[in-house]
């Protein structure tokens, strides 16, 4: 994305732009299925959604310890899929969600705002010293590394390595898997490039579950294809089907 032209959408960059925060597009097997007209229409819809949609009543998250944490990894085409998933997840589910979404720093606050309109679960950017529990969506910062402890304590530290992706989904998956083991899981949504694949392998090796969005419903399915080729995927479904299966397995009576 050019600094001079914020609407210059380039698929050889991993960052999400505002153009990707709109309604779902028809599934495509290659990035060139998106056109410039699609980008403008999506941006206009995003602003309309932000101004016109009423946010649901926000629930109060539990205060740790965290017994279950799931990473939601997404890139191009991911925002709408994640929003659809969270909107369908019941409040009775006992889990903390960590969202690692490729995007530019200018769009983090807007992403949080849109997700909060879709779910009554509190949604917020991870900040140092905060404490979280089940029933909360924690958004990973773009330029910092987030560490989440089973106690629910959040730490935010400087990145110790350079990544082509902001944030690095691989890094988030590895950090969560190392701290939560079999109590961790991940859902990989629409996205291009190969981020998330190595991290998903690491999480699976630690006993965590890996689910993916149905590739036929994705704008771009590169990240999902890589996980499926690795043979580590335990469940495949649309965002709504993923939410239903999550509720079936982890919903509280």
Phi-psi region of 209 (alpha: psi -120 to 50; beta: other; left: phi over 0): beta
pLDDT, residue 7, reads 33
What is this structure's pTM?
Answer: 0.77
Greatest mean pLDDT range, 45-49, 54-58, 191-195, 198-202: 198-202
Short-list 197, 188, 203, CA closest to 239: 188
- What would the DSSP string read from start to end of 18-66? GGGGSSPPPP-SSGGG--HHHHHHHHHHHHHHHHHPPPPPPPPPPPS--
The domain made up of 69-250 has a fold known as Rossmann fold (3.40.50)
What the block records as the tokens of 39 is 């980008």
Domain range list for the chain: 69-250
Q: How confident is the model at residue 64 (pLDDT cuts 50, 70, 90)?
A: low
Residues 20-38: tens digit of each pLDDT: 444 433 333 333 333 333 3
Q: How confident is the model at residue 41 (pLDDT cuts 50, 70, 90)?
A: very low
Instruction: Say if residues 141 and 157 touch (Cβ distance below 8 Å).
Output: no
Share of the chain above pLDDT 70, in %: 74
Instruction: Label the pairing between strands 154-158 and 144-148.
Output: antiparallel
């Amino acid at each position: 994305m050019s600094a001079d032209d914020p609407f210059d959408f380039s698929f050889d960059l991993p960052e999400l732009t505002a153009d990707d925060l709109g309604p779902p597009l028809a599934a495509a097997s290659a990035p060139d299925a998106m056109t410039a007209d699609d980008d403008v229409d999506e941006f206009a819809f995003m602003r309309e959604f932000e101004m016109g949609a009423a946010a649901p009543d926000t629930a109060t998250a539990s205060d740790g310890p965290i017994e279950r944490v799931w990473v939601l990894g997404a890139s191009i085409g991911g925002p709408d899929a994640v929003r659809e998933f969270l909107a369908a997840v019941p409040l009775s589910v006992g889990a903390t969600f960590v969202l690692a979404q490729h995007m530019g720093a200018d769009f983090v606050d807007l992403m949080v705002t849109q997700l909060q309109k879709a779910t009554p679960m509190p949604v917020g950017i991870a900040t140092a010293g905060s404490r979280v529990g089940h029933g909360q969506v924690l958004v990973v910062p773009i330029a910092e590394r987030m560490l989440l402890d089973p106690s629910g304590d959040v730490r935010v530290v400087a990145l110790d390595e350079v990544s082509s992706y902001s944030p690095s989904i691989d890094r988030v998956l590895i950090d969560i898997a190392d701290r939560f083991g079999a109590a961790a899981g991940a859902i990989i949504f629409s996205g291009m490039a190969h981020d998330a694949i190595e991290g998903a392998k690491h999480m699976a090796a630690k006993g965590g579950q890996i689910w993916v969005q149905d590739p036929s419903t994705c704008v771009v399915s590169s990240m999902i294809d890589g996980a499926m080729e690795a043979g580590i995927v335990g469940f495949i479904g649309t965002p709504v089907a993923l939410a239903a299966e999550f509720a079936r397995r982890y919903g509280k009576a």
